[in-house]
Structures are given as structure tokens and as C-alpha cells.
């Protein structure tokens, strides 16, 4: 692994270097900084030829506009087509795009109000809509437009049936899809995973005040899978509160309380959301050889390692914004057809027990059946 020295104190985010080799060939190298004062090369992309890639962004709300800001920093030539039924959302997205000092690689950008107005061939589509309409969006896109790759926001779907049927649809049409749980791209969590080793049992405890279990639990389950390298888990106990909350997103619901589970190798986890508290989330990860108490909202963590006699050490780290990540993910997908994010089929394994648990609790409280779990 190639390394070069740099000032860790002034830079704790992802480092991107673009080397223009000729007018037709270039490479992109991605490094992560570490406390030892070096940056380590985690992947390098060398293009065969500079192509113009077409990216569709469907959904231009809060998260969609942040994806768009990241695309402004693209390191490969792209054209972008933004779709939203809301003209207000398109105006806001355009404003946010123009706030960013771009890389110069966005050669064209369009703002549209219907999928039918997209180009007939799309290299990658970012689906940043709410969960309740995502299935319909994908079906329309795949039916009428030739699409190679999808990057999906989450919660991906509101039912396991939607997962089954869309996964099959994408297989038939040879479309690869990933789910945007971006902690897998954070330099800090890459370091955590490295220190925890292979096959090590991990105990994860994530707790805070009313942090939105419905929409955010999938983030933490994905993180637990990433650091423990485990992909099979079950929820062993649900202590969700009887009071169901309205989500900050109109028309959706939220949950508080606690969920507890275990992975196939014996790693354990707890997710706790206290409805009476406003305390930011604290993430505790404990392994046989390392342990971490992580305060993402403050950009700091306390770590201790067996190799250093379990001496506590406070470290600072940066939590990248989505506007600092999307262009990295899409560049790697477009050039290598691979990505560090979670494949849709694997994310379904993480969504399934959550959807089933939330739906069962909702039916118990509301005394009626639900075909869909109204979270997003």
C-alpha cells in the first residue's frame, strides 16, 4: 500500500488526486489520512479513455441537492440531468449547485420535471426520492430508459415484497445497484474496521435522544455489518415505545425505544432512541482488541487498544458531508463498475428484519394490518 507523509492535524478527510496523463487518459487516486502522519492509497482508477458519462439525479430535495453539490466536484467528464416534480425543489437544487466551486468536469446540466424527459441512455441514476415512490421511479426508469447503474437512498423500500420484485427486475435488465449508507466511505470507520480484525466478536451500543429509528436504524445496522464483517443478523428483542411519532417528513412515521440483536458470529448490538432526550447519538464499539466511544456530532472519539494496554486516547476526526462523497462513489462505479457502498441484495438482508419488526409493532399498536411500513 503506497503511503506519503502529510499533516494529519490539518486534514482528516478523504484526499483525491487527479493526474491528467494525456488529453485522453488519466487516473484518479484516493487516499485516507491516518494518525501516523501518512495517507494511504485505498484505490486508484486509471481510465482507458475520457468518456462523457450521463448521470440522472431523481429527487432534488434536501439529500438530492447535496448529491448534486458533490457532482459539481466530479473528476470525470459528466452531464447531469436533475428530475423533480417540484419546481421549487429544482430552483433550490440549482442554487445549491451554483454555490459550489466546480471542477469543470460537469459539461452540461438540465433541470427536468419528468423521467420521460431524461436522455434515453443513462450511465448511473441516483434515486433520492422518498421510500414510498422509489419502486415506481425505478420501474419507470428501467422500462423507458437504458440505465446501467443505480445509487439508491434509504430506507430503500417500505416492504420486503418491493425488494424481491425490484431485485428481480434489475437482474433481468442487468442493472447493478448500491445503497447509500456512506459510513463505509468514512476514513475514520475504515480505520476502526482495520483495528477490529477478521472474525472478531464485536459489541455495538448506539444510543441517543429521539434520533429517528425508522429512517436511521439502517445506517447503524450497515455500520455494524461493516466493522464486524458480518452480513447475517437477527433482532432478538424489541422494546419499542407504544407511542408512534409523526416523522419530520410529512406522511411518514417514526419510532423510539430499543432494538437488540445478534449476528451469526455472536456479535451483539443495541439501538436505543430515548423519546424524552435530545442527546446526540453516542456509538460504542467494543472488540477483543480495540474499543471506541464515538461522538460523531463533535467529530471526536475515545479509542483504546489491547496492544497499548487499553490506554484511552482522544482523537479528532471529520465526518464527511454527502456533498463530499457522491462524486467519489459515482466515479468509481462508472470507471470500475465496482463500489465500496452496500449492494442492494446485501442491504435487503439488513432492511428485512427492521421492516418486519417496525411493521409488527405498528400493527400491534394501531390494531390493523399494514402492507407497507410508512418510514422513509
pLDDT digits (tens, 9 = 90+) for 286-297: 999 999 999 999
Ranges of CATH 3.40.50.720 domains, the chain: 53-182
Query: Quick one: average pLDDT of 368-373?
Result: 97
User: What are the strands, taking DSSP E only, across 227-267?
Assistant: 233-240, 245-246, 253-254, 257-263
Q: How confident is the model at residue 247 (pLDDT cuts 50, 70, 90)?
A: very high
pLDDT reported for residue 39:
52
Exposure pattern of 307-331 as b/e (b: 16+ CB <10 Å)?
eeeeeeeebebebbebbbbbbbbbb
pLDDT reported for residue 34:
55
Question: Is 38 a residue whose pLDDT tops 90?
Answer: no
Q: How confident is the model at residue 12 (pLDDT cuts 50, 70, 90)?
A: very low
Nearest by Cα to 152 from 85, 63, 91: 63
Task: Please state which of the ranges 7-16, 118-127, 165-174 shows the lowest mean pLDDT.
Answer: 7-16
Question: Is 169 a residue whose pLDDT tops 80?
Answer: yes
Task: Please state which of the ranges 7-11, 165-169, 236-240 shows the lowest mean pLDDT.
Answer: 7-11
Question: Is 20 a residue whose pLDDT tops 60?
Answer: no
pLDDT reported for residue 50:
57
Q: List, in sequence order, every residue forming a beta bridge with 295; answer none if it has no partner.
A: 300
Q: How confident is the model at residue 197 (pLDDT cuts 50, 70, 90)?
A: confident
Mean pLDDT (the chain) is 90
C-alpha cell at 280: 446526540
Question: Is 60 a residue whose pLDDT tops 90?
Answer: yes
pLDDT reported for residue 51:
74
Exposure pattern of 163-183 as b/e (b: 16+ CB <10 Å)?
beebeeebeeeebbbbbbbbb
pLDDT above 70: percentage of residues in the chain: 87
The second-level CATH assignment, the architecture, of 187-319 is 2-Layer Sandwich (3.30)
CA atoms within 13 A on the CB side of 106: 21
pLDDT reported for residue 61:
95
- pLDDT tens track for 104-142: 999 999 999 999 999 999 999 999 999 999 999 999 999
Query: Quick one: average pLDDT of 151-176?
Result: 98
Q: List, in sequence order, every residue forming a beta bridge with 40; answer none if it has no partner.
A: 3, 32
pLDDT reported for residue 10:
39
pTM: 0.89
Question: Is 22 a residue whose pLDDT tops 50?
Answer: no
Question: Is 37 a residue whose pLDDT tops 80?
Answer: no
Query: Quick one: average pLDDT of 192-214?
Result: 92
pLDDT reported for residue 5:
41
Query: Quick one: average pLDDT of 307-320?
Result: 96
pLDDT reported for residue 4:
39
pLDDT reported for residue 78:
97
Which CATH number does 53-182 carry?
A: 3.40.50.720
Question: Is 168 a residue whose pLDDT tops 80?
Answer: yes
> Dihedral sign, CA of 360, 361, 367, 371?
negative
pLDDT reported for residue 44:
52
Q: Is the distance from CB of 351 to CB of 163 less than 8 angstroms? A: yes
Q: How confident is the model at residue 198 (pLDDT cuts 50, 70, 90)?
A: confident
Question: Is 167 a residue whose pLDDT tops 70?
Answer: yes
Ranges of CATH 3.30.360.10 domains, the chain: 187-319
Greater confidence (42 vs 154) lies with 154
Q: How confident is the model at residue 13 (pLDDT cuts 50, 70, 90)?
A: very low
Amino acid at each position: 500500500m503506497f503511503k506519503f507523509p502529510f499533516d494529519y492535524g490539518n486534514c482528516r478527510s478523504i484526499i483525491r488526486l487527479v493526474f491528467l496523463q494525456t488529453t485522453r487518459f488519466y487516473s484518479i487516486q484516493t487516499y485516507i489520512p491516518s494518525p501516523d502522519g501518512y495517507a494511504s492509497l485505498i484505490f486508484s482508477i486509471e481510465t482507458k479513455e475520457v468518456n462523457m458519462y450521463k448521470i440522472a439525479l431523481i429527487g432534488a430535495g434536501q439529500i438530492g441537492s447535496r448529491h448534486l453539490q458533490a457532482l459539481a466536484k466530479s473528476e470525470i467528464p459528466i452531464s447531469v440531468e436533475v428530475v423533480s416534480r417540484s419546481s421549487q425543489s429544482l430552483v433550490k437544487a440549482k442554487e445549491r449547485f451554483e454555490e459550489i466551486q466546480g471542477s469543470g468536469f460537469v459539461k452540461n446540466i438540465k433541470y427536468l420535471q419528468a423521467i420521460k424527459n431524461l436522455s434515453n441512455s443513462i450511465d448511473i441514476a441516483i434515486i433520492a426520492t422518498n421510500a414510498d415512490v422509489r419502486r415506481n421511479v425505478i420501474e419507470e426508469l428501467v422500462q423507458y430508459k437504458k440505465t446501467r447503474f443505480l445509487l439508491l437512498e434509504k430506507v430503500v423500500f417500505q416492504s420486503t415484497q418491493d425488494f424481491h420484485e425490484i431485485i428481480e427486475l434489475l437482474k433481468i435488465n442487468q442493472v447493478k445497484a448500491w445503497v447509500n449508507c456512506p459510513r463505509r466511505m468514512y476514513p475514520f470507520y475504515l480505520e476502526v474496521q482495520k483495528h477490529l480484525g477478521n472474525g472478531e466478536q464485536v459489541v455495538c451500543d448506539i444510543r441517543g435522544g429521539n434520533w429517528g429509528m425508522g429512517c436511521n436504524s439502517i445506517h447503524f445496522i450497515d455500520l455494524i455489518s461493516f466493522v464486524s464483517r458480518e452480513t447475517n443478523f437477527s433482532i432478538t428483542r424489541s422494546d419499542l415505545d407504544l407511542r408512534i411519532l409523526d416523522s419530520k417528513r410529512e406522511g411518514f412515521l417514526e419510532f423510539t425505544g430499543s432494538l437488540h440483536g445478534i449476528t451469526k458470529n455472536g456479535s451483539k448490538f443495541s439501538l436505543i432512541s430515548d423519546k424524552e432526550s435530545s442527546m446526540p447519538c453516542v456509538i460504542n464499539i467494543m472488540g477483543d482488541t480495540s474499543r471506541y466511544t464515538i461522538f460523531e456530532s463533535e467529530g471526536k472519539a475515545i479509542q483504546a487498544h489491547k496492544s497499548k494496554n487499553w490506554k484511552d486516547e482522544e482523537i479528532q476526526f471529520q465526518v464527511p458531508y454527502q456533498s463530499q462523497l457522491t462524486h467519489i462513489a459515482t466515479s468509481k462505479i462508472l470507471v470500475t463498475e465496482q463500489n465500496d457502498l452496500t449492494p442492494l441484495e446485501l442491504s435487503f438482508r439488513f432492511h428485512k428484519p427492521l421492516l418486519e419488526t417496525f411493521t409488527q409493532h405498528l400493527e400491534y399498536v394501531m390494531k390493523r394490518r399494514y402492507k407497507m411500513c410508512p418510514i422513509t
